[in-house]
Amino acid sequence: MDTTALHGWAAGEAGRPASPDWTIPQHWERYTPEEHATWATLYRRQMALLPGRACAAFVDGMQRLPIEPDRIPNFEALSDVLMRHTGWQVVAVPGLVPDDVFFEHLANRRFPAGQFIRRADQLDYLQEPDVFHDVFGHVPMLLNPVMADFIQAYGVGGLRAQRLGALEMLARVYWYTVEFGLVREDGGLRIFGAGIVSSAAESVFCLDSPSPNRIAFALERVMRTRYRIDDFQQTYFVLDRLEDLLRLAEIDFTPLYERVARLEPLPPDAVLPEDDVITRGDGRYHRAKMTP
C-alpha cells in the first residue's frame, strides 16, 4: 500500500502505558545512525516540496525551532523554545494514546509526540504517529500563537465532547484543520495541516491534483463530514486565514452538537448546493482505485 495516510489508527490501540499520562523518556541518545538517517531522508524530501506549498506560519516555525536536516530533534530543546514563545512543551509517548490522555495533554499545552521513527522500508506508510509526523508536521505550527491556542482549546473541548458523546463531530474539525487543513495565502492555497505537510505524496496531491474537492471551511459542514483514514482526502477545507481558528476556539459547541447530531453524516466526497466550492474535484484518483 503506497498511501501516505498517517492516521489510520483506532484510538487506544498502542502498547501499555509507561506512566499514568503515557509519557516515556525520549532517550535521544539511544537513536541509532539508521534512525537519524531515516529522519534525514524524510526531512530532505519534504523540504524540497514545501516552498510555495506550506503556509508562512509553518515555514516560520521550522526556521525558528531546533529542527535540523540530519538528526531527530531533541524534545527538550524544542520545548525550551516553544515554552518561551507559546508556552507549549513536547513530551514523548510510545505512539497512540487513549483519547482522554491525548486531550488532557493538549489542554495543558503538552504535545504528545511519538518517540519512535518509522522503518526505512516504510517511509510512506505508518499506522501510528511517529516522531517525523508529530515533530516535523505539528511542532512548527505550535510556535504560531493562533494554532497554539486552538490546539489547547481542542484538548479542553475534547474532554467535554467525550462527556457529551459528541467526540466524532469535534474530531472531524481537528482532522480537517490541524491535520488536513489548507489556507488561502498570497492569492493561492497553502498547506497548514500536519498530516499533509509530513507526507510527500499528499503535499502535492492536495494542491495540484484535479481529483479532490477544495471547499471553503464552514464549521457545521465540517462537523458532518466523515473522513478517510486510509488514503488521501477526497475533500480539503480551506480557511480564509489561520486567525479564523480563534473564533472556533471561543464559541460554544453545545448547540452545534445538538443540531449536527440530528443530521445525516456526509460522505467524504460530498458537495452540497450551499458549499462555497473553490475547486470541484473530478474524483479520478479514488475512482481509479475502486475499478481494477
Contact assessment for residue 95 and residue 15, using Cβ atoms and an 8 Å cutoff:
yes
Q: Is 76 assigned to a binding site?
A: no
d(CA 117, CA 126): 10
Q: Is 34 assigned to a binding site?
A: no
Contact assessment for residue 204 and residue 272, using Cβ atoms and an 8 Å cutoff:
no
**Cβ proximity to Fe ion, 139 vs 194, nearer residue:** 194
Active site residue 133: yes
CA atoms within 13 A on the CB side of 125: 7
d(CA 46, CA 44): 5
**Shortest Å, Cβ 178 to ligand HBI:** 9
**Shortest Å, Cβ 11 to ligand HBI:** 4
Q: What, of ligand HBI, Fe ion, none, does residue 112 touch, CB below 5 to 8 Å by kind?
A: ligand HBI
Q: Which among 35, 179, 185, 202 is annotated as catalytic?
A: 179
For strand 235-239 and strand 213-216, is the pairing parallel, antiparallel, or unpaired?
parallel
11 binds ligand HBI (CB under 6 A): yes
Nearby residues of 184 by Cβ (< 8 Å), 6 or more positions away: 190, 238, 239, 240, 241
Q: Is 133 assigned to a binding site?
A: yes
Q: What, of ligand HBI, Fe ion, none, does residue 99 touch, CB below 5 to 8 Å by kind?
A: ligand HBI
**Shortest Å, Cβ 14 to ligand HBI:** 7
150 binds ligand HBI (CB under 6 A): no
Beta pairing partners, 238: 182, 216
Active site residue 264: no
Residue 262, SS3?
Answer: coil
Q: Which among 138, 199, 203, 211 is annotated as catalytic?
A: 138
97 binds ligand HBI (CB under 6 A): yes
Active site residue 138: yes
Name the residue with the smallest CB distance to Fe ion: 194
174 binds ligand HBI (CB under 6 A): yes
Size of the site for ligand HBI (CB under 6 A): 10
Q: Which among 35, 104, 105, 133 is annotated as catalytic?
A: 133
2-33: burial string, b at 16+ Cβ within 10 Å, e else: ebbbbbebeeeebeeeeeebbbeebeeeebee
Consecutive H or E run containing 35: helix 33-49
102 binds ligand HBI (CB under 6 A): yes
Active site residue 198: yes
**Binding residues for ligand HBI (CB under 6 A):** 11, 93, 96-97, 99, 102, 112, 129, 171, 174
Which are the catalytic amino acids? Answer: 133, 138, 179, 198
Binding residues for Fe cation: 133, 138, 179
